[in-house]
Chains A and B, each alone.
Chain A
Amino acid sequence: MRAFAKILATVYALLLYGFIFLPVVVLVLFSLQATQFPIPPFTGPSTRWYAAVLADTRLTTGLLHSILVAVGSSLVAVTLGFLSAWGFARFYLPGSAFLRGLITLPLTVSYLIIGMGLLVLFNRVGIPKSLAAAGIGHVVVNLPLCFAIIYSQMGDHQINIERAARDLGASEWKVLLLVTVPVMAPAIFASFFLSMTFSWDEFVISFLLTRFETTLPVEIWNLLRSGLNPKTNAVGSLVFGVSIVLVVAFELLLFRRKQS
């Protein structure tokens, strides 16, 4: 009975792992095929479509734009999130609970609706579509996240260190920069990283708020109009590879931190 349950569990786990990995394996496998269509049978490895991706200036500039928007919007989101988290955690403010709720409110609204709201507003005010407009949208979705992560990590033990610094004559801004920021570095780093990955992968806001210059997910979307295309496989595999490297690096960083 026990052995039977064990076998059943193993089979179930393997089936689900198969389901989870099936599309990724198919994606990567057929990106390595030289034929015009990424469909079976597999006819042997070739880097033809990777070369085609790297030669496609629309995709490479899309990549640059994506990095630009991800870094820029994450910097703004982390800075605003950290400052407000510190303000709410350390000082008494009237209406604090309501204001904190307001900052985290965008978390409950879908990206589509946030993007549409900005589109309608920018349209009324006359702000043209641009990468900056998409960046603004990315800050809207990532600021609550950064705020929530950093606010939750502001423990009481840090208050004493800050008090000590103040007693030794440091000004508020000096305390912030020389004491609080270094102590909060893991939470700041984690929220920055999370913002980066969300912004990097975000489609619908960028789709609505950019026009000629756009981000990589939107360029990939444009590729999809041509149907099944090995170039899409290649660029998708590249994006996947970059993400995996980032995630593994993040894991190793955290792991080393925990051990030391």
Chain B
Amino acid sequence: MSTKPASERATPWALVTPALLWTLCFFVLPFAAMALTSVTAKDGSFTLSNYAQFFENPSYWRAMVNSLQVTAIVTVVSVLLAYPLAWILAEQVPERFQRLALMLAVLPFWTSYVVRSYSWLLVLAQNGVVNRVLTGSGLFADPVQLANTRLATVIGFVHFFVMLLTLTIFANLKQLSPSYRKAAADLGAGPVRTFIHVILPLTLPGIVVGAFLTFVLAIGDYITPQILGGNNELLMPQLIMMQIGRRGDFPLASALAIILMAVVTVAYLASARWLKIERA
């Protein structure tokens, strides 16, 4: 290796500096500004009162509990619904129709996120399709309150994440070599035993990645709980947006956002460790 002239050594830095600068100015710096704002009192002195408020005010605390509960339910239900569908697509549908079947299964994924939540509102409203069917069939005398409940939020979330997880789990199942299944069959295992002892363990790391993605995206989402859940029961993103929108309280909003980020980071560390053990 000959020593390169100075102009050539400058080239790689010229290539990577714009991207690094962008990340520093518009990601790291904003985060620092948010952290600083969260510990600054109105008179400019240092304070932890914004963080203390979160632990002292039961309604703020409640929003975090709600968020964790809803996200946990959504993650579990989505995985349980998506796995069989991905399996059917990968195993039961003929090879040449698989791409089409998969594209169809995730087609509504491409509607606007805001519009998708609104569509569920149409379905679940007091005079919407579901209530028409329920009252029309005589099962219920009066319309059931579905919109503006936790159930509506969960349904809206599950709809989105079933599509996302079907995609990732399908990819996972297709990557498995067929020789695993043949080996299991040669050793005398039936389809059920093959699935439980071979296929499921091999796809588990992929499921954990998908579940983690679901957790992160769902816990930080404002649109779905705001449109479908309404204001009866607040989740963390709604609480944060409320501080900005109605009250203009940036310090409290910053503190709440940082607490939410801390929770996600803890979840990441927990699942990352578990993932590594699984892979080994």
Interface residues of A (CB under 8 A from B): 6, 9, 12-13, 16-17, 19-24, 26-27, 30, 37-41, 80-81, 83-84, 86-88, 90-93, 99, 102-103, 105-106, 108-114, 116-121, 123-124, 136-137, 139-140, 143, 147, 172, 197, 201, 203-204, 208, 216-217, 220-221, 224, 228, 232-233, 235-236, 239-240, 243-244, 246-247, 251
Taking a contact as CB atoms under 8 Å apart, the answer to whether B108 and A90 are in contact is no
> Which residue of the partner chain B has the closest CB to A217?
B114
Taking a contact as CB atoms under 8 Å apart, the answer to whether A240 and B110 are in contact is yes
Given contacts A87-B11, A228-B125, list 15 more A-B pairs with CB under 8 A: A17-B105, A21-B108, A23-B120, A26-B119, A39-B127, A84-B19, A91-B11, A99-B16, A105-B23, A110-B221, A112-B241, A113-B261, A121-B34, A203-B223, A220-B118
Taking a contact as CB atoms under 8 Å apart, the answer to whether A120 and B30 are in contact is yes
B81 within 8 Å of A (CB atoms): yes
Taking a contact as CB atoms under 8 Å apart, the answer to whether A102 and B23 are in contact is yes
Taking a contact as CB atoms under 8 Å apart, the answer to whether A113 and B33 are in contact is no
Residues in B whose Cβ lies below 8 Å from that of A220: 112, 114-115, 118
A142 to B109, CA, bound (A): 18
15 A-B pairs, CB-CB below 8 angstroms? A17-B104, A23-B116, A26-B122, A26-B129, A83-B15, A84-B15, A87-B16, A106-B23, A140-B22, A140-B23, A220-B115, A221-B114, A232-B115, A239-B111, A240-B111
Known: A26-B122, A244-B110. A236 touches B115 (CB 8 A): yes
CB-CB nearest 9 A-B residue pairs:
A110-B220, A117-B30, A87-B15, A23-B119, A91-B12, A236-B115, A84-B19, A87-B16, A243-B110
Taking a contact as CB atoms under 8 Å apart, the answer to whether A88 and B257 are in contact is no
Taking a contact as CB atoms under 8 Å apart, the answer to whether A16 and B162 are in contact is yes
> Which residue of the partner chain B has the closest CB to A124?
B33
Residues in B whose Cβ lies below 8 Å from that of A103: 19-20, 23
A221 to B121, CA, bound (A): 13
B18 within 8 Å of A (CB atoms): yes
A22 to B18, CA, bound (A): 45
Partner of A147, one of B19, B129, B250, B260: B19
Known: A23-B123, A80-B22, A137-B26. A172 touches B11 (CB 8 A): yes
Among B127, B129, B216, B241, the one with the most A-chain Cβ atoms within 10 Å of its Cβ is: B129
A228 to B220, CA, bound (A): 25
B79 within 8 Å of A (CB atoms): no
Residues in A whose Cβ lies below 8 Å from that of B115: 27, 220, 232, 235-236, 239-240
Partner of A24, one of B105, B111, B223: B111
Residues in B whose Cβ lies below 8 Å from that of A108: 216, 264, 268
A256 to B121, CA, bound (A): 39
Residues in A whose Cβ lies below 8 Å from that of B171: none
Taking a contact as CB atoms under 8 Å apart, the answer to whether A109 and B12 are in contact is no
Residues in B whose Cβ lies below 8 Å from that of A172: 8, 11
Question: What is the minimal beta-carbon distance from B85 to any residue of chain A, in angstroms?
Answer: 5
Residues in B whose Cβ lies below 8 Å from that of A105: 23, 27
Q: Which of B196-237 contact A (CB under 8 A)?
A: 216-217, 219-223, 227, 237
Question: What is the minimal beta-carbon distance from B89 to any residue of chain A, in angstroms?
Answer: 8
Taking a contact as CB atoms under 8 Å apart, the answer to whether A217 and B112 are in contact is yes
> Which residue of the partner chain B has the closest CB to A92?
B12
A236 to B240, CA, bound (A): 27
B253 within 8 Å of A (CB atoms): yes
Taking a contact as CB atoms under 8 Å apart, the answer to whether B244 and A116 are in contact is yes
Taking a contact as CB atoms under 8 Å apart, the answer to whether A23 and B108 are in contact is yes
> Which residue of the partner chain B has the closest CB to A251?
B103
Taking a contact as CB atoms under 8 Å apart, the answer to whether B26 and A136 are in contact is yes
> Which residue of the partner chain A has the closest CB to B126?
A39
Question: What is the minimal beta-carbon distance from B204 to any residue of chain A, in angstroms?
Answer: 21
Residues in A whose Cβ lies below 8 Å from that of B13: 87, 93
B153 within 8 Å of A (CB atoms): no
Taking a contact as CB atoms under 8 Å apart, the answer to whether A84 and B18 are in contact is yes
B140 within 8 Å of A (CB atoms): no
Known: A83-B15, A203-B113. A110 touches B29 (CB 8 A): no
Residues in A whose Cβ lies below 8 Å from that of B118: 27, 220, 224, 232, 236
B62 within 8 Å of A (CB atoms): no
Residues in B whose Cβ lies below 8 Å from that of A12: 84-85, 88
Taking a contact as CB atoms under 8 Å apart, the answer to whether B112 and A118 are in contact is no
B159 within 8 Å of A (CB atoms): yes
Partner of A110, one of B33, B162, B253, B264: B264
Among A111, A113, A204, the one with the most B-chain Cβ atoms within 10 Å of its Cβ is: A113
A4 to B216, CA, bound (A): 38
